[in-house]
Structure 1
Amino acid sequence: MTADTRPNAVDLSHHLSLLARSRHPSPLKDLIRYMGVKGIISFAGGLPAADFFPMHSLSASIYPANTVLDPEHPSPPSQSVEFTIPRRAAAPAYDLERGLQYVGGRGLTDLEVPIRALTEKLWPPAYADWDVLLNNGSTDGWIKILTLLVESGDHIICDSQIYPSAQAGFVPMGVKAFPIAGDGEGVSPEALAKGLEEWDESRGRRPRVMYTVPVGQNPLGTTMGPARRKSVYDVCVKYDVIIIEDDPYCMLQFPPYVVGQQPTPPAPKADVDAFLSNMSNSFLTIDTQGRVIRMDTFSKTLFPGARLGWFTCNAMFAERLLRGTEVQTQGPSGFSEVITGELLNKWGVDGFIEWNTNLCEQYRVRRDWMLDALAAAFDLVPAEDAGVPGAIGLVAFPKLKANGRRGPAIISFVPPVGGMFIWCKAHYDTHPAWAGFQPDRTDQERVRAFEEKFWIRLVDALILVTPGWYFSPWEGGGHSLHEEGSGHFRLAFSYEPKANVDEGIRRLADMMTKEWTGAVDISAGL
Structure 2
Amino acid sequence: MTASTDAIVSNGHGHSSKATATNGTSTSTDERPTALDLSHHLSLLARSRRASPLKDIIRYMAVPGIISLAGGLPPAAYFPFHSVSASAYPASTVLDPETGTPPADSVEVVIPRHKTSDTAFDIAGGLQYTGGSGLAKFAELCKDLTERMWEPVYSDWDILVNSGGTDAWTKVITMLLERGEYVITETQVYPSAQASFIPMGVTAFPIEDDGEGMRADALEAALAGWDESRGRRPRVMYLVPVGQNPLGTTMGAQRRQAIYDVCVKYDVVIIEDDPYTVLQFEPWVVGSKSHPPVPAKTNEDVAAFLDSMVKSFLTIDVQGRVIRLDTFSKTLAPGARLGWFTGSKMFIERLLRGTEVQTQMPSGISSVVIGELLNKWGLDGYLLWITNLREQYRVRRDWMLDALSASFDLVPAESTNVAGAIGLVAYPKGQAHTGPALMSFVPPTGGMFVWCRMYYRTHPQFASFAASYKPEHPEDGDATQAFEAKFWVRLVEALVLLTPGWYFTAFEGEGVSSYGQPGVGAFRLAFSFEPKDLQEEGIRRMARVMTEEWCA
Category of TM-score, reference length = shorter chain? over 0.9
Confirm whether residue 419 of structure 1 aligns to residue 452 of structure 2: no
Q: Deviations over 1:6-49 (max 9, x none)?
A: 00000000000000000001111221011000000000100001
2: distance between equivalents of 1:274 and 1:40? 50
Residue type of the alignment partner of 1:100: L
Any residues of structure 2 matched to 1:187-226 within 5 Å, and which?
187-226=214-253
Confirm whether residue 355 of structure 1 aligns to residue 381 of structure 2: no
Q: Alpha-carbon deviation of 1:351?
A: 0.8
Q: Alpha-carbon deviation of 1:330?
A: 1.1
Match of 1:523 in 2: none
Q: Alpha-carbon deviation of 1:90?
A: 5.1
Q: Alpha-carbon deviation of 1:455?
A: 0.8
**Pick aligned residue for 1:429 from 451, 457, 477:** 457
For residue 407 of structure 1, give the secondary structure of its aligned residue in structure 2: coil
Normalized against structure 2, the TM-score is what?
0.91
Match of 1:81 in 2: 107
For residue 168 of structure 2, give the secondary structure of its aligned residue in structure 1: helix
Q: Which moved more, 1:56-65 or 1:417-426?
A: 56-65
Residue type of the alignment partner of 2:281: F
1: distance between equivalents of 2:459 and 2:333? 42
Normalized against structure 1, the TM-score is what?
0.96
**Are the structure 2 counterparts of residues 441 and 191 from structure 1 closer, same or farther at C-alpha, using a change threshold of 3 Å?**
farther
Structure 1 stretches of 4+ moved >6 Å: none
Match of 2:187 in 1: 160
Residue type of the alignment partner of 1:463: V
Determine if contact 2:289/2:402 at 8 Å carries over to the other structure.
no
Between the two proteins, what is the percent identity of the paired residues? 64
Determine if contact 1:179/1:481 at 8 Å carries over to the other structure.
no
Q: Alpha-carbon deviation of 1:392?
A: 0.9
Residue type of the alignment partner of 1:411: M
1: distance between equivalents of 2:344 and 2:193? 22
Q: Deviations over 1:476-498 (max 9, x none)?
A: 13224622320001000000011
Q: Alpha-carbon deviation of 1:467?
A: 0.4
Matched positions, count: 515
Match of 2:24 in 1: none
For residue 68 of structure 2, give the secondary structure of its aligned residue in structure 1: coil
Confirm whether residue 18 of structure 1 aligns to residue 44 of structure 2: yes
Q: Alpha-carbon deviation of 1:83?
A: 2.4
Any residues of structure 2 matched to 1:347-386 within 5 Å, and which?
347-386=377-416
Match of 1:111 in 2: 138
Q: Alpha-carbon deviation of 1:405?
A: 6.8
Match of 1:524 in 2: none
Confirm whether residue 123 of structure 1 aligns to residue 150 of structure 2: yes
Match of 2:341 in 1: 311
Determine if contact 1:220/1:421 at 8 Å carries over to the other structure.
yes
Residue type of the alignment partner of 2:193: A
Match of 2:34 in 1: 8
Residue type of the alignment partner of 1:427: Y
**Pick aligned residue for 2:365 from 332, 335, 352:** 335
Confirm whether residue 326 of structure 1 aligns to residue 326 of structure 2: no
2: distance between equivalents of 1:248 and 1:504? 26
Q: Alpha-carbon deviation of 1:440?
A: 4.8
Determine if contact 2:450/2:525 at 8 Å carries over to the other structure.
yes
Confirm whether residue 514 of structure 1 aligns to residue 539 of structure 2: no
Any residues of structure 2 matched to 1:434-445 within 5 Å, and which?
434-440=462-468, 445=478
Match of 1:175 in 2: 202
**Pick aligned residue for 2:513 from 479, 502, 508:** 479
2: distance between equivalents of 1:121 and 1:208? 30
Residue type of the alignment partner of 2:198: V
Residue type of the alignment partner of 2:525: L
Q: Which moved more, 1:111-120 or 1:461-470?
A: 111-120
**Pick aligned residue for 1:53 from 79, 93, 104:** 79
Structure 1 residue runs of 5 or longer lacking an equivalent are: 519-526
RMSD over aligned CA atoms reads 1.5
2: distance between equivalents of 1:22 and 1:455? 47
Match of 2:474 in 1: none
Q: Deviations over 1:225-274 (max 9, x none)?
A: 00000000000000000000000000100000011113201013343233
Determine if contact 2:111/2:121 at 8 Å carries over to the other structure.
yes
**Are the structure 2 counterparts of residues 235 and 441 from structure 1 closer, same or farther at C-alpha, using a change threshold of 3 Å?**
farther
Q: Deviations over 1:116-165 (max 9, x none)?
A: 11111111111100000000001000000011000000000000100000
**Pick aligned residue for 2:538 from 504, 519, 525:** 504
Q: Alpha-carbon deviation of 1:517?
A: 1.1
For residue 75 of structure 1, give the secondary structure of its aligned residue in structure 2: coil
Residue type of the alignment partner of 2:139: E
For residue 453 of structure 1, give the secondary structure of its aligned residue in structure 2: helix
Q: Deviations over 1:53-102 (max 9, x none)?
A: 11111111111100011000011101111121110115871000000000
1: distance between equivalents of 2:234 and 2:31? 32
Q: Deviations over 1:270-297 (max 9, x none)?
A: 4323322221110000000000000000
Residue type of the alignment partner of 2:492: V
**Pick aligned residue for 1:397 from 420, 427, 430:** 427
